[in-house]
Amino acid sequence: MVKTGKLKGWLYLLPAILFLGVFMLYPLFDVFIYSFEEGYNFATQSFFGTGIYNYSYVLRDPYFIQALKNTFIIVIITVPLSTLVALFISLGLSSIKPLRELYQTVYFLPYVTNTLAVGLVFMILFKKTAYSDGLVNMLINLFGGESVDFITGPYAAKMFVMCFYTIWVVLPFKILILTSALASVPKVYYSAAQVDGTRPWRIFYKITLPMISPMIFYLVITGFIGAFKAYSDEVALFGTDLNSAGMNTIVGYIYDMLYGNSGGYPSYASAAAIILFVIVLTITLINLMVSKGLGSRS
Partner 1 sequence: MNIVLEHLTKRFPNRNKKLGGEVTAVNDFDFEIPDGTLVGLLGPSGCGKSTTLNLISGLEKPTEGRIYFGGSDVTSLPAQDRGVGLVFQSYALYPHLTVLDNIKFPLENLRGADKLTKEEMNSRALEAAKLVQIDQLMERKPSELSGGQQQRVAIARALVKTPRVLLLDEPLSNLDARLRLQTREEIRRIQRETKITTVFVTHDQEEAMSICDLIVVMKDGEMMQMGKPQDVYDDPVNLFVAKFLGTPPINVFSGKIKNGMLYIGKDVILTSFDLTEDKDVYVAIRPEGFIPDPNGPFKCEMGRLEVMGRDVSIVSFHDNNLNDSGLIRSIVDADDVTDLSADDIRFSLKPHKVLLFDKDTQERIRFEVRNG
Contact residues for partner 1 (CB under 8 A)?
A: 186, 188-189, 191-199, 202, 206-207, 210-211, 298
Shortest distance (Å) from residue 126 CB to partner 1? 43
Complex with partner 1: residue 34 or 217, whichever CB lies closer: 217
* Signed CA dihedral, 218, 219, 220, 225: sign only: positive
Complex with partner 1: residue 102 or 188, whichever CB lies closer: 188
**What are the distances in angstroms from CA 154 to CA 61, 84, 106, 215?**
22, 27, 32, 37
Burial of 13 (0-12, 13-18, 19+ CB in 10 A): exposed
Shortest distance (Å) from residue 190 CB to partner 1? 9
Shortest distance (Å) from residue 9 CB to partner 1? 32
Query: Which amino acid does the sequence have at 137?
Result: N
* Phi-psi sector, 40: left (phi>0), alpha (psi -120 to 50), beta: beta
Complex with partner 1: residue 211 or 279, whichever CB lies closer: 211
Complex with partner 1: residue 155 or 189, whichever CB lies closer: 189
Q: State the chain's maximal CA–CA distance in angstroms.
A: 82
Shortest distance (Å) from residue 267 CB to partner 1? 50
What Rg, from alpha-carbon coordinates, does the chain have?
24
Shortest distance (Å) from residue 211 CB to partner 1? 7
Shortest distance (Å) from residue 197 CB to partner 1? 3
Q: Do residues 135 and 144 lie in contact, with contact meaning Cβ atoms separated by under 8 Å?
A: no
Backbone angles phi, psi at 35, to 5 degrees: -65, -15
Shortest distance (Å) from residue 176 CB to partner 1? 24
Comparing CA positions, the residue from 146, 151, 155, 152 lying closest to residue 124 is 151
Q: Do residues 232 and 252 lie in contact, with contact meaning Cβ atoms separated by under 8 Å?
A: no
Complex with partner 1: residue 5 or 186, whichever CB lies closer: 186
CB neighbours of residue 128 within 10 Å: 16
Complex with partner 1: residue 70 or 208, whichever CB lies closer: 208
Dihedral (Cα; 134, 137, 138, 140), 10-degree rounding: 170
Gap between the Cα atoms of 208 and 189, Å rounded = 9
Shortest distance (Å) from residue 181 CB to partner 1? 14
Distance of CA 230 to the CA centre of its chain: 6
Complex with partner 1: residue 43 or 195, whichever CB lies closer: 195
Comparing CA positions, the residue from 222, 123, 106 lying closest to residue 165 is 123
Complex with partner 1: residue 194 or 282, whichever CB lies closer: 194
